[in-house]
Structure 1
Amino acid sequence: MTASPDFGTPASPAPTQLPAAPYPAGAASPGSAADAGSPPSACSAAPVSDAFDTTAFRSVFRRHAAGVAVITAPGARPVGFTATSLTSVSAEPPMVSFGISTTGSTWPTVADVAYVGIHILGEHQEDLAATFARSGADRFAPPTAWGPGPYGVPLLEDVSAWLVARVVARIPAGDHRVVIAQAVAGAPDGPARPLLYHQGRFNALRH
């Protein structure tokens, strides 16, 4: 079981071509014999390319332990998905960001809503995280416990913390969108120990 994919592949910047610069007479230019004893830098060891294998990219991020959140949105039927890309962006005003796949079933609703719910999951909620990551699941059916919150946003119960946030931007990023939202309500009242996602599975925090 893996969490719903929730990050886009950033494009690598194109290499910059610097114009040749004149050097004073007698001065050694970069790459001249005067530099022969200097070890090559890591940046110059291999040519830069915009192409990068997506399998390798995913493998890199499998080693990155991340907190687990569930994003919800109101609609004719509530929608939600498991995300590991939630990030605090700003404290003044309080803003967050998260990534969402444009090919997922949740995107058409999130693309239009004004407000979303953001839930930080506790270590006891691995099953809930798996439910909201599972394609085709009825994510709000029992045993999922939830109710309507501010602005009609579906709020999950017994989470570590929650926010309701107003969407202010949806930024294209590869096959995803980065959603920026400003918090308008929330509370950190639940269990404090977080659920983590690492190496393709959910984990508890270990000391």
Structure 2
Amino acid sequence: MTAMPGLGTPRLASPDLLRSVFRRHAAGVAVITARGDAGPVGFTATSLTSVSAEPPLLSFGIGTGASSWPAISEADHVGVHILGEHQQDLAATFARSGADRFGPATSWHEGPEGVPVLDDVPAWLVCRIAGRVPAGDHRIVVAEVVLGDSTGPGRPLLYHQGRFHGLRD
């Protein structure tokens, strides 16, 4: 392929190309939680999307190889937590494979429908899972908002270029 003026040289589609493009896309950071048979589960997600206002629907992606997938695949409800810039360590914990995500360093409580609800987040929702759509090695989970709170502390946490960041004024 030839270089395009001002655009560089296009590359054929590959997992590396997709990752390198999305490293340049700043995304909000959320933690998704659920009640599992062996206890609470959760993971960091940057794929959270508002889908519909009426009814209130959202979506997120999860890999079928993720440690949280077995619980998410069976759960009726999930918790969706928007993280604040003061919660970079929490985001890293829920993103790290093998981490004790609900250990002493994580402040949480059992919320409605038995969903683990993280404390001190800027916003959280409890959602009823409406569908799980196959998408390659992932599933897109569509969930309907049941209840939540958007009055928590802090400004949003962002993910960009492989790192967590706060907003700049």
User: Same fold by TM-score, threshold 0.5 exceeded?
Assistant: yes
SS in structure 1 at match of 2:36: coil
Alignment of 1:92-131 (within 5 A): 92-131=54-93
- State whether residues 60 and 141 of structure 2, in contact with CA within 8 Å, keep that contact through their aligned partners in structure 1: yes
Letter in 1 for 2:66: G
Structure 2 letter corresponding to 1:80 = G
1:73 to 2:73 alignment: no
Q: Quick check: which one's strand share is greater?
A: 2
In structure 1, give the amino acid aligned to 2:23.
R
Using structure 1 for the length normalisation, give the TM-score: 0.75
In 1, the alpha carbon distance for the partners of 2:113 and 2:161 equals: 36
Q: Which residue of 43, 63, 66 maps to 2:24?
A: 63
Q: Partner of 2:51 in structure 1? A: 89
Rounded Cα–Cα distance in structure 1 between residues aligned with 2:109 and 2:137: 31
Larger Rg: 1
1:159 & 1:136 partners in 2: Cα distance? 23
Counterpart residue number, 1:54 = 15
Gaps of 5+ in 2: 5-11
Q: Give the CA deviation at 1:191.
A: 2.0
Letter in 2 for 1:149: G
In structure 2, the residue matched to 1:165 is: 127
Distance, in Å, in 2 between the alignment partners of 1:159 and 1:116 is: 16
Note the aligned Cα RMSD (angstroms).
1.3
Give the ranges of 4+ consecutive aligned residues of structure 1 lying more than 3 Å apart after TM superposition. Answer: none
- Count of aligned pairs: 159
Q: TM-score, normalised by structure 2?
A: 0.91
- 1:138-177 deviations in whole A, cap 9, x for unaligned? 1000110000000000000000100000000000001100
**Structure 2 counterpart of 1:165, which letter?**
C
For each residue in 1:84-121, what CA deviation from the matched residue of structure 2 results, as whole angstroms up to 9, or x when unmatched? 00000011111000000000100000000100000000
**Residues 1-207 of structure 1 correspond to what in structure 2 (within 5 A)?**
52-76=13-37, 77-207=39-169
